[in-house]
Structure 1
Amino acid sequence: MQNTSYSPQKMIYKNFDEAADNILKMMSRLLDINTLFIAKNDRCTNKIMKVLNKKDILLEEGGTLPFEQTFCKLSVDHGTKPLIIPDITQSDLTKDMVVTKSLGEGSFIGIPIYYEDGENYGTLCGLDNRPYNFREELIEIFETMGSLLTYVLELDEAYQQIRSLSVPFIPITKGVAILTITGNVNEQRADTIISLALEKSQDLALDYLIIDLSGIGKINEIVSYSLLKIVNLLQIIGVKPILTGITPDVAIKAIGVGFETDDILVQSNLEQALKKIGLTLLKNK
């Protein structure tokens, strides 16, 4: 009899997406089922976020269907326990569904994934194109991994909130927002600032992003490189960056580490920046 052992490794996930990918890979090693996937739904559309097919390609990542026409909808309606359908052609829930007819035959298991407030994110599911005997240990794995994904989702949501708070991003009017950088900037925070600047600029369809540096702790090579990267990437996606709050002391340090502002729009303060793009601050009398 062959001896197999599993050597646990320390796993550090950057976000829910990365954790989901690794959880599916681990489940695939443990379970003899063709397709494992994680779907996200908004009660209208069901989108396959992550999928792992062993032999036959039953689903593809990014695929979408109307939520009402999916097995995932049945799983969400079933509640917090796994929905188990050993033969989709024999179950009253699935035998007449379009998905069942396209598969021909098969089996399904699914469990919902929730946000902390109880709102449904989507489902963790297993799908096969043959009837399948879902053993008790397999069901337990789905319950455990469903709970783990719920926990990871909560952590990711909390991280995203902290991430946004650590780099205040303030919409001013349509097409204009302010990104305020304060304190010291290390490599990790620099990556966060760059990512947030790009995400928010695209989400808000910005024309201008005013980057205020008046509260920055110090200019070093990391800050210099990050600012240049933000400026270049914003220009690539069609957003005009404007730098404000560069004090004489910061300017001297910036030049010392090679940060050039010749091709960048720079204004002394927020009021001047807004005026430059045709906006005016009005004071209450």
Structure 2
Amino acid sequence: MSEENHFGSEPYYSLKSAAQKIFEVIAQRLDVQTTYITMKGENSMTVLSSLNKQEEIVPEGFTIDYEESHCRLIINDQDHILRTNNLMEDKLTREMEASALLQVKGYLGVTLKDLKGNVFGTLCVMDKEEKNFNQEDIEFLQTIASVLSHMIELDQTHYNMGLMNAPIIPITDGVSVLPIQGIVDAGRAEKLMGDVLRYGKEQDIDYFVLDLSGLVVRDQFFSEMLPKLIHALQVMGIDTMLTGITPEIAQKEIEANVLTQTKPKTVPNLQTALSTIGFKLVESH
């Protein structure tokens, strides 16, 4: 998988809503009891949405270790499919934990991707009875997966648009905090750069504290845009301080060594940052 799904299952409203309507069509067309979509995490697969026509075999929210899941076989397969008429007897699946948990026979699954080609998860169907799925069935499920890819893109776009306008928080004259959250792609990075530099000039900022605790690291932003932003602020005479350094960010810095030239000061939290500048946070009673 090229990218992990960093913002959890809740923002995928469009995908889940569309899936529930499409599941009925899939179940009728393929004559199966259960249809579901999974989402791939770092080490696990989670059922994002499901339809169980009779007994509940796969509940929404069900999570299983990636290595023990049928989804791993689907995603790693050259054709990105898994087809068997009996999970309990197939040599690839009969010893797997997921097969023991599900206790089903007929199974067909295809990889679900976003529009950029990144693996999102899987779209699967299964039944208590043996099912001989043919090539036409596979192509049908792959077509449905392609349709759902647009829902994934829609949800991801809505999520990132919500983070597009990074809130610059003024602390006092000459001091502001910029929380950088979520995934920063090229478009958002360019806007972020323009907004921050313009704000720094208009508000006569002396210190900018960049809070990275909510940043989802992507190589392009971390290795290119963040150093450029810091350097541009320094050229304008604005001191930059980094806080909220996560273990992931620290590891990326060790690997890429991208902040060496700009050498921004790093502190563990906002209170320390303000104290370093010369301010104190005072609790109100």
What TM-score, normalized by structure 1, do the two folds share? Answer: 0.52
Specify the SS of the correspondent of 1:23. Answer: helix
**Residue 140, structure 1, aligned to residue 139, structure 2:** yes
- The question of whether the paired residues in 2 share the 8 Å contact of 1:108 and 1:127 is answered with yes
* Range with bigger deviation, 36-45 or 13-22: 13-22
3-state SS, counterpart of residue 88 of structure 1:
coil
Residue aligning to 2:101: 102
Residue 24 of structure 2 aligns to a residue whose secondary structure is helix
Q: Quick one: distance in 2 between partners of 1:136 and 1:33?
A: 16
Within 5 Å, give how 1:243-258 maps onto structure 2. Answer: none
Q: Post-superposition, which runs of at least 4 consecutive aligned residues in structure 1 deviate over 6 A?
A: 278-282
Contact 1:106 1:132 in 2 (8 A): yes
- With over 3 angstroms needed to count, the CA separation of the structure-2 counterparts of 1:168 and 1:80, relative to structure 1, is farther
CA deviation after TM superposition for structure 1 residue 131, in Å: 1.4
Give 1:136 shift.
3.8
Task: Tell me the distance in 2 between the aligned counterparts of 1:80 and 1:135.
Answer: 14
Which residue is equivalent to 2:18? 19
Instruction: Show the counterpart of 1:169.
Output: 167
Deviations 1:135-188 (A, max 9, x none): 4432222010111112321233233333432x4434789xx778xxxxxxxxxx
Change (3 A) 1:105 1:158: closer
Q: Number of aligned pairs? A: 173
Task: Give the deviation of 1:132 after TM superposition.
Answer: 0.8
1:280 offset after TM fit, Å?
Answer: 10
- Distance in 1 between residues matched to 2:36 and 2:170, nearest whole Å: 40
Q: In structure 1, how many angstroms separate the alpha carbons of the residues matched to 2:55 and 2:62?
A: 16
Query: Residues 84-118 of structure 1, C-alpha deviation per residue, up to 9 Å, x if partnerless?
Result: 11111332210111222334451211111113343
CA distance in 2, matches of 1:171, 1:39: 38
| 1:126 alignment partner AA | V
Deviates more, 1:51-60 or 1:127-136: 127-136
Aligned mates of 1:101, 1:153 — CA distance in 2: 31
> 1:27-46 to 2 correspondence within 5 Å?
27-46=26-45
The residue number in structure 2 matching 1:76 is 75
Distance 2:124 2:169 in 1: 39
Mapped partners of 1:59, 1:136: distance in 2: 25
Residue 159 of structure 1 corresponds to which residue in structure 2? 158
Amino acid at match of 1:154: E
Q: 1:108 to 1:14 in 2, by over 3 A?
A: closer
Task: Kindly state the Cα deviation for residue 133 of structure 1 after the two structures are TM-superposed.
Answer: 1.5
CA distance in 2, matches of 1:79, 1:88: 19
Residues 103, 162 of structure 1: alpha-carbon distance in 2 compared, 3 angstrom cutoff: closer
Q: Which of the pair has more CA radius of gyration?
A: 1
Q: How does 1:103-118 map to 2 (within 5 A)?
A: 103-118=102-117
* CA–CA distance in structure 2, aligned partners of residues 144 and 52 of structure 1: 19
Contact 1:82 1:142 in 2 (8 A): no
Distance 1:168 1:66, change over 3 A: same
Take 1:112 and 1:33, find their aligned partners in 2: how far apart are those partners? 18
Q: Matched residues in 2 for 1:124 and 1:61: separation?
A: 13
1:65 matches 2:83: no
Q: Could you tell me which amino acid in structure 1 is paired with residue 75 of structure 2?
A: V
Find the aligned partners of 1:116 and 1:171 in 2 and give their Cα distance. 35
- Which residue of structure 2 aligns with residue 217 of structure 1? none
Map Cα deviations across residues 239-282 of structure 1 (whole Å, 9 max, x no partner).
xxxxxxxxxxxxxxxxxxxxxxxxxxxxxxxxxxx9xxx88988
- In structure 1, how many angstroms separate the alpha carbons of the residues matched to 2:48 and 2:60? 6
1:44 Cα deviation after fit? 0.5
Q: Percent identity?
A: 26
Q: Per chain length, whose mean CA-contact separation is higher, i.e. which structure has more relative contact order (CA < 8 Å, sep 6+)?
A: 2
- In structure 2, what is the equivalent of residue 149 of structure 1? 148
Q: CA RMSD in A?
A: 3.3
| Whole-Å separation in 2 of the counterparts to 1:20 and 1:51 | 8
Aligned counterparts of 2:92 and 2:108: Cα–Cα separation in 1: 13
Runs of at least 5 residues in structure 2 that lack an aligned partner in the other structure:
1-11, 172-176, 180-212, 215-269, 279-285
For residues 43 and 84 of structure 1, the distance between their equivalents in structure 2, rounded to whole angstroms, comes to 25
Given that 1:79 and 1:112 are in contact with CA atoms closer than 8 Å, whether structure 2 keeps it comes out as no
